Amino acid sequence: FGTALLGEEHLIKEYNPDESFRAAVKFIEKKNYAEAINIFSELAAAQIPEAQYNLSLMSYNGLGVPKNFKDALVWSWKAYLNGHNAAKGQAEKVIATITPELQDDVANQIIDELLVEANAGVKKSTLKLGQTYMSLLVQPDFGAAYVWLSIAQAYGIEDASPLLNEVGDQIPIQEVLVQQDEAMKIFKQINQ
């Protein structure tokens, strides 16, 4: 990341997520929300769930940026996918505030991003896709969730197995068989 300018008084020569996060928190304590947003945005892009969660809270509450429920849902869901414990509750809070259409728009935006990653061989994205198809869409797409959770399980991602079982219980065996064939086809394409 090179040199990051953190306000006028802070200059960090090498990217250090912990130092950057602490600097952002100090900006919040000083009510300098715009500076905190800038730092959290960089950290969130680097998949740091605490920063993603904080961006969600700040977007939801209009701190450092105008209130934006769409961004709040994007960042809370990404934080959830990256393992932040409170993020799913934040996502549910945002979902209770917005329209089903916006919920699906956000889900499809995240799905599109994850599909690019998964098809490029980013293994963790397969689990995230399964979780998103299963839990963020207004009407879950259990078939697509089954495909991506099958691939995640094939990669040895342990969290995929219970989710795959749960999804498998939601669709008839005929569809399970179709989705297994689709998972095999996609798995071979990714790993050729």
Judge contact between 56 and 67, C-beta under 8 A: no
Both tokens assigned to 38: 């800038």
Least Cα distance to 149 among 79, 141, 82 occurs for: 141
pLDDT, position 15:
63
Both tokens assigned to 19: 């130092």
Domain boundary assignment for the chain = 1-98, 100-192
How many helices (H) and strands (E) in the chain? 10, 2
pLDDT, position 155:
98
Whether the full predicted model's pTM is greater than 0.85, yes or no, is yes
Phi-psi region of 7 (alpha: psi -120 to 50; beta: other; left: phi over 0): left
DSSP 8-state assignment for residue 12: E
Least Cα distance to 164 among 187, 138, 143 occurs for: 143
Confidence of residue 146 (pLDDT cuts 50, 70, 90): very high
Confidence of residue 18 (pLDDT cuts 50, 70, 90): confident
**pLDDT for residue 3 is more than 80:** no
Q: Name the one residue in this structure whose structure tokens are 């299963």.
A: 134
Read off the pLDDT of residues 81-107 as tens digits, 9 standing for 90 and up: 999 999 999 999 999 999 999 999 999
CATH number attached to the domain at 1-98: 1.25.40.10
pLDDT, position 16:
83
